[in-house]
Amino acid sequence: MEQALIAKLLADGGISALVGNRVFPISRDQASALPAVTFGTVSNVPIYTNDGEAGIAEARVQIDCWGASYPSAKLTAQAVKSALSAFFGTVEGVVFQYVLLDGERDSREGGSNAAEYQFRTQLDFRVFYEN
């Protein structure tokens, strides 16, 4: 599921125009170019019926959109939301039944001087997919 979502992000023209191929699992090097996107699974659990696992899972995914400025982080976040919010379909053999935005928050990462400050918009998604 994770690699398919990363492929979906990288294939989106709006995202690639902003970040190129800078979509990283979990973390990125602090010295890497901005804007960029990091991606991590918070939880991933099967959905059950009375007969056991239903063949569907629900994952909570956090996508962090990084920028050297607040507008850059927000623009990247908007592109990610446009690509994923309410998405359903098949990517790299993974059937996504529904992806929904579940939360958004802003933060700022500091360094030893103001030139190292980075802005981040965190997006939380609930991803329902066939497993």
Indicate which CATH number applies to the domain containing 89.
3.30.2000.30
> If you average pLDDT over residues 28-52, what whole number do you get?
93
Query: Would you give the DSSP letter of residue 113?
Result: S
Domain count, the chain: 1
Say which residues have a Cβ less than 8 Å from residue 25's Cβ, sequence separation at least 6.
2, 6, 38, 39, 40
Residue 98 has pLDDT above 90, yes or no: yes
pTM over 0.85: yes
What is the model's pLDDT at position 112? Answer: 67
Query: Distance (Å, rounded) from C-alpha 38 to C-alpha 104?
Result: 15
Strands 23-25 and 36-49 turn out to be parallel
Q: Using 50, 70 and 90 to split pLDDT, how confident is the model at 19?
A: very high
Residue 31 has pLDDT above 90, yes or no: no
CA R_g for the chain:
16
What is the model's pLDDT at position 111? Answer: 67
What is the model's pLDDT at position 8? Answer: 97
Q: Quote the mean pLDDT of the chain.
A: 94
Whose structure tokens read 């991803």?
Answer: 127
Name the residue range of residue 6's domain.
2-130
Residue pair 8/83 in contact by the 8 Å Cβ criterion: yes
Residue 30 has pLDDT above 80, yes or no: no
What is the model's pLDDT at position 1? Answer: 95
